[in-house]
């Protein structure tokens, strides 16, 4: 069954649904690393950054916006710009957690007939080009369900996906997904929001990879300011988990990245990058201007790295 509400709507409307994804208590709750399996690439990346006191820069882009070849070129540029982990957004027709910038990107990508399996294939092709950073697939639940759980996890593992974020899957329904992800060493990444309060412990109990702290209520999108309690919220989450903690939703510039890097282990930037791509689409589609447009995207992301 397809969940009916966005992650933010669930957090606001139903305290029992907080946690988003891997907050259940499935049997065999130890992480793959704790169980003796090979380390996940996300874990390795955060470990290396922790040794040097670095903060992970985690860009987001919508796969297929404006087309697949351009997405692959942008992925290469993002790694060269200093990205540590990359969120690959699966375009979806009803992206309830996403603001207008990412909604428009999804619409453009869907015109290219992009599916979740297309996105998994992009991960494989990026690996073939030599891209080494971990990939986190950001997808709503229904595209996975339509693909088939067995086929999805088989292809995700084979094509180099290290993490998975499903913003509209509540923890009550996440046990099977967590077990499947663990079996193929994919981190099912938990989301926590400022409204989580006393439910944080349950949300974090079976977290994998890193914890994604939602910096503000509502949908994704660039913001000039954040609510007054966000700093205390992030500190509270960090005090309750040994996992790296990243913050996202609304972060758009170097000053904001710098601010949050002093509080957490990673910073996610989405809408600002997608908007930059959007403004450059005419040049990206022009053979004479394409290289310069790609370099502009690389420069924008490089300036976010702190």
Active-site amino acid positions: 87, 98
Distance CA 69, CA 61 (A): 14
Among 281, 196, 184, residue whose Cα is nearest residue 7? 196
Note whether 278 and 296 are within 8 A (CB).
no
Distance CA 205, CA 259 (A): 27
- Distances from the Cα of 40 to the Cαs of 157, 168, 241, 271, in angstroms? 11, 24, 18, 27
Q: 171 CB contacts (<8 Å, ≥6 apart)?
A: 17, 18, 19, 20, 21, 22, 23, 24, 202, 203
Cα 201 to chain centroid, rounded = 21
**Half-sphere exposure of residue 160, counting CA atoms within 13 Å on the CB side?**
20
Q: Which two tokens stand for residue 65?
A: 């916006």
Note whether 61 and 87 are within 8 A (CB).
yes
147, β-bridge pairs: none
């Amino acid at each position: 069954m397809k969940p009916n509400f966005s992650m933010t709507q669930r957090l606001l409307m139903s305290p029992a649904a907080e946690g988003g994804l891997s907050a259940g208590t499935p049997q065999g709750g130890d992480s793959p690393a704790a169980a003796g399996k090979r380390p996940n690439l996300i874990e390795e990346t955060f470990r290396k950054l922790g040794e040097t006191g670095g903060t992970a820069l985690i860009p987001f882009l919508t796969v297929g916006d404006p087309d697949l070849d351009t997405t692959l070129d942008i992925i290469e540029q993002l790694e060269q710009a200093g990205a540590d982990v990359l969120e690959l957004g699966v375009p979806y027709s009803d992206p309830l957690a996403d603001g207008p910038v990412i909604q428009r990107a999804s619409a453009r990508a869907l015109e290219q007939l992009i599916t979740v399996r297309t996105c998994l294939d992009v991960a494989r092709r990026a690996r073939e080009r030599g891209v080494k950073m971990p990939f986190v697939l950001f997808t709503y639940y229904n595209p996975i369900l339509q693909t088939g759980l067995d086929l999805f996890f088989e292809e995700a593992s084979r094509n180099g996906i290290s993490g998975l974020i499903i913003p509209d899957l509540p923890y009550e329904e996440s046990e099977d997904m967590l077990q499947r992800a663990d079996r193929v060493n994919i981190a099912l990444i938990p989301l926590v929001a400022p409204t989580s309060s006393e439910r944080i412990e349950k949300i974090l109990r079976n977290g994998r990879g890193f914890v994604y702290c939602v910096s503000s209520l509502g949908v994704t999108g660039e913001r000039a300011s954040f609510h007054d309690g966000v700093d205390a919220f992030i500190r509270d989450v960090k005090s309750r988990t040994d996992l790296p903690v990243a913050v996202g939703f609304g972060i758009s510039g170097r000053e904001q990245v710098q601010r949050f890097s002093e509080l957490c282990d990673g910073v996610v930037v989405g809408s600002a990058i997608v908007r930059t791509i959007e403004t450059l689409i005419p040049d990206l589609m022009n053979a004479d201007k394409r290289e310069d447009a790609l370099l502009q995207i690389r420069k924008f992301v490089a300036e976010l790295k702190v």
